[in-house]
Amino acid sequence: MTNIKQEILNTINIIADQKINNLKFDKTVKGTVKEILENNYYTINISGTDYKLKYSKERLKMYSSVYVLIPNNDYKNMFILCSCD
Name all domains of the chain by residue range, CATH numbers in brackets: 24-83 (2.40.50.140)
pTM of the model: 0.73
Tens-digit pLDDT profile for residues 22-74: 778 899 999 999 999 999 999 999 999 999 999 999 999 999 999 999 999 89
pLDDT at 2 over 90: no
Close Cβ partners of 2 (under 8 Å, ≥ 6 residues apart): none
Predicted local confidence at residue 41, as pLDDT: 97
Gap between the terminal Cα atoms of the chain: 45
CA-based nearest residue to 27, from 78, 64, 83? 78
Instruction: Identify the band that residue 1 occupies on the pLDDT scale cut at 50, 70 and 90.
Output: low
